[in-house]
């Protein structure tokens, strides 16, 4: 059994949204086209192409950050810490007087970034576990996830 108290920040939410957005091919293609547009626009003096390329490259990350900051400041869910209890049965999340439980079989995907672990338990539902707040328990959390979640669903890198 592992207990964690997590207080999310704008940076944690932004990290999750970046990871989620750039896991889609359309975002990667748009970024690649933006980078090509910038390089081509600069090497061949074609300023308009460089500007369009910069817009393609920087629009998504900037828009995601603004959206995360807005959601963070307006959302009550981000103000109170989340208490996670991970055990052999699943994941229990408590915040205030609300409690949610998800069994390991409900985890549809476990992924990571350099900053956090993400446990998806539905289309619009994911738990964000920042590595900095897990500290020395990060390895134990990853081991518990790897033990109980189908290996095809685990995309965690150390």
pLDDT of 94-143, one tens digit each? Answer: 998 899 999 999 999 999 999 999 999 987 788 999 999 999 999 999 99
Q: What secondary structure letter does DSSP report for 19?
A: H
**16 and 35 inside one domain:** yes
- Single out the residue in 28, 60, 76 at which a domain terminates: 76
**106 and 125 inside one domain:** yes
Share of the chain above pLDDT 70, in %: 100
**106 and 147 inside one domain:** yes
Q: Which domain covers residue 33, as residue numbers?
A: 11-76
**104 and 147 inside one domain:** yes
Q: What secondary structure letter does DSSP report for 23?
A: T
Domain total for the chain? 2
**105 and 140 inside one domain:** yes
CATH number of the structural domain spanning residue 127: 2.30.29.30
Separation CA 76–CA 132 (nearest Å): 23
**89 and 115 inside one domain:** yes
Separation CA 114–CA 101 (nearest Å): 26
Separation CA 113–CA 12 (nearest Å): 10
Whether pTM exceeds 0.85:
no
CB neighbour class for 16 (10 Å; exposed up to 12, middle 13-18, buried from 19): buried
Helix (H, G, I), strand (E, B) or coil at 29: helix
Most confident of the ranges 22-36, 75-89, 116-130, 131-145: 131-145
Report the Cα 83 to chain-centroid distance in Å: 18
On average, the pLDDT of the chain sits at: 91
């Amino acid at each position: 059994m592992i207990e964690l108290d997590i207080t999310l920040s704008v940076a944690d939410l932004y990290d999750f949204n970046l990871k989620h957005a750039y896991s889609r091919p359309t975002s990667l293609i748009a970024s690649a086209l933006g980078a090509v547009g910038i390089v081509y626009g600069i090497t061949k003096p074609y300023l308009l192409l460089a500007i369009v390329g910069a817009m393609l490259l920087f629009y998504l990350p900037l828009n995601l950050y603004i959206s995360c900051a807005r959601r963070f400041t307006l959302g009550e869910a981000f103000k109170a810490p989340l208490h996670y209890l991970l055990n052999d049965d699943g994941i229990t999340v408590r915040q205030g007087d609300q409690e949610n439980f998800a069994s390991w079989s409900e985890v549809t995907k476990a992924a990571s970034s350099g900053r956090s672990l993400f446990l998806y338990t539905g289309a619009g539902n994911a738990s964000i576990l920042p590595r900095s707040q897990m500290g020395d328990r990060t390895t134990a959390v990853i081991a518990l996830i790897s033990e109980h979640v189908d290996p095809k669903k685990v995309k965690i890198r150390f």
